[in-house]
Amino acid sequence: MERDGARERQPYEGFAAIYDRLMEGVDYEGWADYVESLLQRFKRRPRSLLDLACGTGSSTIPFAARGYRVAGVDLSEAMLRIARAKAAAAGLQVDFYRMDLRELRLPGPFDLVLLFQDGLNYLLEERELRQAFSGVRQLLQPGGLFIFDLTRPSLRPHEGGQSVYWADGGDFTMIWESRYDRASETWEILLTVFQLENGGLYRKFQERHREKDYPPELVSRLLKEEGFKLLEIYPTFRHTPATGTEPKLTFVAEPK
């Protein structure tokens, strides 16, 4: 029995409760290993680290456990509540802040700023990407690094323009509807979740996510204009230069 209607929420407001269960297959330690391999490649030994779009802290906590002084930023307070609880349970000191990528104002500076999990793709206009780059530039120490990823929705296979998937977690069922709009170069995802609560009732909620496709040439230009030197672009989790045809890219840049 459904308790309420399909109220559409802000991204990750309702999704936070089941996010980690859906991401169980993600190797966050391997993610940290990859970042550290890039640090070795560029001969950097940072001590302080800022993890932007940190979500529930799964990408943040491995670095805190490795001895970095770490802070995390996310727009979703629901996700941050989980991140704080996870850090506390692990006995790790991590400062988490609720903040918009376009308006970064927090204590710094940092030796390393990370931004993974398609966080920048949620900025749908070029000026917003500029704002994020400018904010990161102000938070970086001289000689620091900015490492981030961007997904390329236009390079994913699009079956008839729309795809539908579903996942059953026992106490929840999620329907994932996605489509890529070539005119606006955006990938839109509608999540519908039925979540079991006490008494056998199901709560239904929806979230709408939109991600913008940014070509690497544009990103490279904006980085330069906002005070960065682009060091390299890699296919994510690899160390060979990107060709521009990969669906996910990792950028490494330093402040000029």
DSSP string, 109-150: -EEEEEE-TTGGGG--SHHHHHHHHHHHHHHEEEEEEEEEEE
**235 and 132 assigned to the same domain:** yes
Q: pLDDT tens digits for 16-69? A: 877 878 788 889 999 999 999 999 999 999 999 999 999 999 999 999 999 999
Confidence band for 149, pLDDT divided at 50, 70 and 90:
very high
Do 48 and 112 contact (CB within 8 A), yes or no? yes
Q: Is residue 132 part of a domain?
A: yes
Q: Is residue 1 part of a domain?
A: no
Do 85 and 184 contact (CB within 8 A), yes or no? no
**Would you call 101 exposed, middle or buried from its count of C-beta atoms within 10 A (0-12, 13-18, 19+)?**
buried
**164 and 97 assigned to the same domain:** no
**35 and 47 assigned to the same domain:** yes
**67 and 139 assigned to the same domain:** yes
Q: pLDDT tens digits for 135-148? A: 999 999 999 999 99
Instruction: Give residue 172's domain range.
Output: 7-15+155-212
Q: Is residue 247 part of a domain?
A: yes
Reading the block at residue 137, the tokens are 């530039």
**161 and 128 assigned to the same domain:** no
**77 and 130 assigned to the same domain:** yes
**183 and 92 assigned to the same domain:** no
pTM: 0.90
**86 and 130 assigned to the same domain:** yes
Reading the block at residue 177, the tokens are 């509807």
Which CATH number do you get for residue 208? 2.20.25.110
- The count of structural domains within the chain is 2
**124 and 80 assigned to the same domain:** yes
Mean pLDDT score across all residues of the chain:
90
Q: Is residue 187 part of a domain?
A: yes
Q: Is residue 2 part of a domain?
A: no
Q: Is residue 60 part of a domain?
A: yes
Can you tell me the distance from the alpha carbon of 127 to that of 102, in angstroms, rounded to the nearest whole number?
9
Beta-strand ranges (E) seen in the chain are: 7-9, 48-52, 69-74, 94-98, 110-115, 140-151, 162-168, 172-181, 186-196, 202-212, 228-235, 248-255
